[in-house]
């Protein structure tokens, strides 16, 4: 079981320097936050290599570290589907097809694009649901950090939550999105330096990749190191899902719903210096994204193979997979390395929280406060509101952290939330950007129907004791399979209702949709760019690497 570790002076120095550095970034950038555009969108002047790393790092919070390691221990290499099927194709799609509409429309947020394309009520619905989701996601980062420091260092759960929340508040309220972006770039390098050695040390202990395979076979391996060989039937793999549920639920609905519509990540690309840089942003992020399974998933698999079951903490009588990463750090990191590893984790949790908070304050200020509370305020007023909203978002995130304590796997919880919000939203965007006949009434009622569809599915099915609030019409073998199919039902419900209501309501004049719908928007000319800077060529290169990885680990 977990034993409390003692930090020596070097570990404490590393942690202290990181906290001082991030606070220094916020303080240094505060003087540059002269307008609300500076605070919420970094003045749209960030180079693409920085926005690309920030685009990736905004997703490197608890999802990437504790959650992916937990899923690696629970589901094995199948968790890599969250990267190679569940992220990269969508990142290519948003770069090549959707970013021209986001950036070209000069919308300040994803809900604001919905207002331009559809109407005010559709924007309002998305703004409120997104604000709730960001608070829940930010709470996950706080929760993950708190249990880590509680289990490894013996710190109070409550103290860990409020201390990290205070640090995030100081640098985010000072430097806004720019502070968050530069800290996300720092976080990216810290994670690579902090956790690559953990994979290497674990594989050395296991006897290499073949030694790991042997250990898993001895434990009754159910396909822990394969991606596709055991996907014919739910019972043949640890994730309990067949290939169609995986490809449609994760690879299409959840993946595209998150990477193409979630303002948390889209906001980073919208801060780029020009259209070409905005389109390159997701493609630059996709390259390291494909390599991250070896840093964050493999340690979870190694924890399952190397750490005896008796040493795993239990939750409700079952193994608590959220402890996979703390167990690995405890077993393999000596002094000095412990400080670096804990700093990398602290960076990921705080950055994941800051990313959600900056998205929350932008949507609240622009899409809720300015639209419905005070329409004629000065720019200085909205800048002040943004800073106050940051404080409110932090406090609400603390409440979200305590809600997460009811789930034994962070990834299960996060995919459940995404299924309610992002899955139907992607259907709305898909129809809005590629079907000029879709209307505001259709989008609004489609979104509501999609969320109701997700709720109905969760209420009528059960998996691992979760769901089934109304009846148990179907039982899934894993919570993840339940989440995938819930997302599919949410997407289908939204898509169908949007089409039906749109056909029954009057469309907007085509002249009002120029720049918002693909068929009514002039194609971008990028012949002046060198071939290696053109998004189409970069997209093809990323796709080739992606196919190779899936083939090798099939």
Q: pLDDT band for position 409 (50/70/90)?
A: low
pLDDT at 339 over 90: no
At residue 61, the 3 state secondary structure works out as coil
**For the chain, what are the domain ranges?**
9-552
pLDDT at 308 over 80: yes
Between CA 433 and CA 184, with CA 252 as vertex, the angle to 5 degrees is: 85
Residue 317, pLDDT score: 67
Compute the average pLDDT of residues 140-162. Answer: 76
pLDDT value, residue 331 = 86
Confidence of residue 408 (pLDDT cuts 50, 70, 90): low
Confidence of residue 325 (pLDDT cuts 50, 70, 90): confident
User: Residue 348: what pLDDT?
Assistant: 76
Average pLDDT over residues 315-333: 80
More confident residue, 107 or 249: 249
> Mean pLDDT in the chain?
84
Q: How confident is the model at residue 454 (pLDDT cuts 50, 70, 90)?
A: very high
Classified as helix, coil or strand, 274 is coil
What phi and psi, each to the nearest 5 degrees, are found at residue 223? 95, 35
Please, what's the b/e burial string for 343-370 (b: 16 or more CB within 10 A of its CB; e: otherwise)?
bbbbbbbbbbbbbbbbbbbbbbbbbbbb
DSSP-assigned letter for residue 439: -
Tell me what the mean pLDDT of segment 530-542 comes to: 86
Judge whether residue 467 has pLDDT over 60. Answer: yes
pLDDT at 149 exceeding the cut of 80:
no
pLDDT for position 3: 52
Q: What is the mean predicted confidence (pLDDT) over 71-94?
A: 91
d(CA 395, CA 180): 18
Q: Which pLDDT does position 406 carry in this prediction?
A: 61
Total residues belonging to the chain:
554
Cβ neighbors of 458 (< 8 A, separation 6 or more) are 416, 467, 469, 482, 486
**Which pLDDT score, from 0 to 100, does residue 236 have?**
82
Residues 296, 345: Cα–Cα separation, whole Å: 11
Residue 223 token pair: 């396909």
pLDDT in the model for residue 154 = 77
Q: Find out whether 131 and 143 touch, Cβ atoms under 8 Å.
A: no
What average pLDDT does range 498-510 have in this prediction?
95
**Whole-angstrom distance, CA of residue 139 vs CA of residue 237:** 31
pLDDT confidence of residue 438? 96
pLDDT tens-digit series, residues 170-199:
766 666 666 677 777 888 888 888 889 999
Q: Residue 463 belongs to what H/E stretch?
A: strand 461-463
pLDDT at 5: 63
* Most confident residue range from 6-20, 77-91, 327-341, 467-481: 77-91
Q: CATH fold of 9-552, please?
A: Sodium/glucose cotransporter (1.20.1730)
Least confident piece of the model among 43-47, 325-329, 425-429, 543-547:
43-47
Residue pair 422/258 in contact by the 8 Å Cβ criterion: yes
Cα gap 361→267, rounded to integer Å = 12
Residue 63 pLDDT greater than 70, yes or no: no
% the chain with pLDDT above 70: 91
């Amino acid at each position: 079981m977990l034993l409390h570790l003692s930090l020596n002076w070097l570990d404490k120095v590393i942690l202290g320097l990181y906290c001082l550095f991030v606070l220094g970034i916020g303080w240094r950038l505060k003087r540059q936050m002269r307008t609300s555009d500076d605070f919420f969108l970094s003045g749209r002047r960030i180079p693409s290599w920085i926005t690309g790393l920030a685009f990736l790092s905004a997703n490197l919070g608890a999802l990437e570290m504790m959650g992916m390691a937990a899923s690696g221990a629970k589901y094995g290499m199948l968790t890599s589907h969250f990267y190679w099927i569940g992220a990269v194709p969508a990142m290519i799609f948003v770069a090549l097809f959707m970013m021209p509409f986001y950036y070209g429309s000069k919308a300040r947020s994803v809900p604001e694009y919905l207002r331009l394309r559809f109407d005010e009520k559709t924007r309002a619905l998305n703004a409120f649901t997104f604000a709730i989701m960001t608070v829940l996601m930010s709470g996950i980062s706080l929760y993950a950090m708190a249990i880590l420091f509680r289990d490894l260092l013996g710190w109070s759960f409550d103290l860990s939550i409020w201390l990290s929340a205070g640090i995030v508040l100081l640098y985010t309220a000072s430097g806004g999105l720019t502070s968050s972006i530069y800290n996300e770039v720092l976080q990216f390098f810290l994670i690579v330096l902090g956790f690559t050695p953990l994979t290497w040390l674990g594989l050395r202990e296991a006897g290499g990749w073949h030694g790991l395979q042997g250990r898993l076979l001895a434990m009754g391996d159910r396909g822990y190191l394969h991606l596709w060989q055991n996907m014919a039937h739910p019972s043949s793999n640890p994730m309990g899902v067949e290939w169609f549920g995986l490809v449609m639920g994760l690879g299409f609905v959840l993946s595209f719903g998150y990477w193409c519509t979630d303002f948390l990540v889209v906001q980073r690309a919208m801060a780029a210096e020009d259209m070409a840089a905005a389109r390159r942003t997701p493609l630059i992020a996709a390259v390291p994204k494909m390599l991250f399974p070896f840093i964050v998933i493999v340690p979870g698999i190694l924890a399952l193979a190397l750490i005896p079951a008796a040493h795993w903490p239990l939750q409700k009588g079952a193994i608590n997979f959220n402890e996979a990463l703390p167990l690995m750090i405890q077993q393999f990191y000596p002094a000095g390395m412990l400080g670096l590893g804990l700093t990398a984790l602290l960076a990921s949790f705080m950055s994941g929280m800051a990313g959600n908070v900056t998205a929350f304050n932008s949507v609240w200020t622009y899409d809720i406060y300015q639209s419905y509370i005070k329409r004629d305020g000065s720019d200085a007023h909205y800048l002040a509101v943004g800073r106050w909203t940051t404080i409110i978002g932090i406090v609400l995130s603390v409440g979200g952290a305590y809600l997460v304590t009811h789930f034994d796997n962070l990834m299960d919880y996060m995919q459940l939330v995404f299924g309610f919000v992002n899955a139907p939203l992607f259907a709305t965007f898909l129809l809005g950007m590629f079907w000029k006949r879709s209307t505001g009434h259709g989008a609004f009622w489609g979104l509501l129907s999609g969320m109701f569809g997700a709720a109905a599915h969760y209420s009528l099915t059960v998996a691992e004791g979760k769901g089934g609030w109304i009846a148990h019409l179907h039982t899934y073998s894993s919570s993840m399979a339940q989440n995938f199919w819930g997302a599919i039902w949410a997407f289908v419900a939204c898509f169908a209702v949007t089409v039906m209501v749109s056909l029954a309501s009057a469309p907007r004049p085509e002249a009002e949709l120029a720049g918002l719908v693909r068929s009514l928007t002039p194609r971008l000319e990028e012949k002046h760019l060198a071939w290696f800077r053109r998004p189409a060529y970069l997209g093809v290169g990323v796709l080739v690497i992606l196919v190779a990885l899936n083939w090798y680990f099939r």
